[in-house]
Structure 1
Amino acid sequence: MSETTDIIQELLQGVGLAADYRTDSLTLLEKGESRYVRDLKLNFTSTLTSEQLSNKECALLGLSTAINNNNKPLTVFFTKYAEEQGCTPEEIADAVGCASLLASNNIFYRFRHFTQKEKYTQIPARIRMQIMMKPATGKEFFELMSLAISAVNGCEMCVNAHENSLIQMGTTEERVFDAVRIASLVTSMGKVVF
């Protein structure tokens, strides 16, 4: 067995998948003896802890990102990890709700931003967002998840709005940066494990 295969098996077992689980992407990396699989494993492992975020927050960010990206294996993994970190069912539901809400918001506000027509900013959005008012995860962390998901979804207007809100709440730029880093690495993992 090759070193690449060993690393892939460790990576898969780390997320609760069988050692022989393969996607087309993983197979191509394995056949090419890609050195990238070591980076992928280390990068993904770094999503579980942070100097700026608690393990619980890392778990919820990972879960929200996995839900946003429609990635079943990572959703299962991060749900279990969130439970292990003491997340309540309500906090887990907030992570899921955040991904769903931001899917609509990111499309809608990206449209407004792209068109740059004043008329569209005057028409009410009519998108219910009650979850943002009193989230189980707390207002600051829900904003942080919203920013990370908006970054993944590529909504400049939403990223700027959430980042501004977070800075006004006193959130450090390092905390913001790490949340987006985690979301980006979970998204990266989802390109080969899905």
Structure 2
Amino acid sequence: MSAIATIPNETFVNLLKDLLLEDYIPSSNAQALIQAEARYIKDLKINVGNAINNTQQLNRKEALLLALAVSVNERFEPLKESFTRLAQQEGATEAEIAEVIAATSLMNTNNVFYRFRHFMNKDSYNNQPAGIKMSLMMNPVLGKEFFELLSLAISAVNGCEMCVSSHEQSVLQHGSSESRVFEAVKTVSIIKGLITVLA
């Protein structure tokens, strides 16, 4: 018997099945929602389904790679594993999965550094070379447009205004659209909210 078979809320169980989380043991946050039969569980399932199945601006593989990036960013291993499997089912390669992890790591580095520069806004900090190696950004296997989109989305999760602005400008220069940017940021925000419940 799987762990989710003991969960009394059918909507929550179906959400976990969609995410390949059959062995998930509910966190205290999840238990609180389940026990109260909270209406939010239905909203969460709909939001997550819309986020990873949006085919208008993002294809399913792209949405799943963005979801994977948030799971890596938030260090939530169960979703990292399930989004890796789901992305692979949509054709994601080992190199693409590895690049999502690397890009997320690089954005964590840059988000802290450039947020500090922005907060301080001093010439003594702004005029020094960053000295952070970023060769990953030169020829990404994900393609430059999607790499920039992913970088923007993770920067939004981490709250770096300078990085969001810079990557938004870059992603548009590489042929993207504001609608696609909007959907990418909405996708990662929904997955961040999902992790708040599950972790």
Per the normalisation by structure 1, the TM-score is 0.94
Q: Secondary structure at the match of 1:97?
A: helix
Which amino acid in structure 2 is aligned with residue 9 of structure 1?
A: V
Alpha-carbon separation, structure 1, partners of 2:51 and 2:181? 14
- TM-superposed CA distance for 1:21, in Å, is 2.1
Which amino acid in structure 1 is aligned with residue 88 of structure 2?
A: E
Indicate whether 1:118 and 2:118 are aligned: no
Pick one of 3, 13, 26 that aligns with 2:17: 13
User: Which residue is 2:170 aligned to?
Assistant: 165
Indicate whether 1:39 and 2:35 are aligned: no
Alpha-carbon separation, structure 2, partners of 1:154 and 1:4? 36
- TM-superposed CA distance for 1:159, in Å, is 0.3
Moved over 6 A (4+): none
- What number of residue pairs does the alignment pair up? 192
1:73-112 CA-to-partner distances (Å, cap 9, x unmatched) read: 1101110011001011111111111111000100000000
Unaligned segments of structure 2, at least 5 residues: 1-6
User: Which residue is 1:146 aligned to?
Assistant: 151
- TM-superposed CA distance for 1:19, in Å, is 7.0
- TM-superposed CA distance for 1:165, in Å, is 1.0
Q: Give the 3 Å change call, closer, same or farther, for CA 188–4 of structure 1 in structure 2.
A: farther
What is the identity percentage for the equivalent residue pairs of Structure 1 and Structure 2? 43
Which amino acid in structure 1 is aligned with residue 77 of structure 2?
A: K
Q: Secondary structure at the match of 2:101?
A: helix
Which amino acid in structure 1 is aligned with residue 67 of structure 2?
A: G
Alpha-carbon separation, structure 2, partners of 1:112 and 1:4? 49
- TM-superposed CA distance for 1:20, in Å, is 6.8
Alpha-carbon separation, structure 2, partners of 1:130 and 1:137? 14
User: Which residue is 2:102 aligned to?
Assistant: 97
Instruction: State the Cα RMSD in Å.
Output: 1.5
Q: Give the 3 Å change call, closer, same or farther, for CA 164–48 of structure 1 in structure 2.
A: same
Alpha-carbon separation, structure 2, partners of 1:20 and 1:150? 28
Q: Give the 3 Å change call, closer, same or farther, for CA 154–20 of structure 1 in structure 2.
A: closer
Which amino acid in structure 2 is aligned with residue 75 of structure 1?
A: K
Alpha-carbon separation, structure 1, partners of 2:31 and 2:18? 18
Unaligned segments of structure 1, at least 5 residues: none
Per the normalisation by structure 2, the TM-score is 0.92
Indicate whether 1:107 and 2:112 are aligned: yes
Pick one of 160, 184, 197 that aligns with 1:179: 184
Which amino acid in structure 2 is aligned with residue 148 of structure 1?
A: A
Indicate whether 1:65 and 2:80 are aligned: no
1:33-76 CA-to-partner distances (Å, cap 9, x unmatched) read: 21000001111111212211111111111111110111111101
User: Which residue is 2:197 aligned to?
Assistant: 192
Pick one of 76, 85, 89 that aligns with 1:84: 89
Contact 1:73 1:193 in 2 (8 A): no
Which amino acid in structure 2 is aligned with residue 98 of structure 1?
A: A
Which amino acid in structure 1 is aligned with residue 42 of structure 2?
A: R
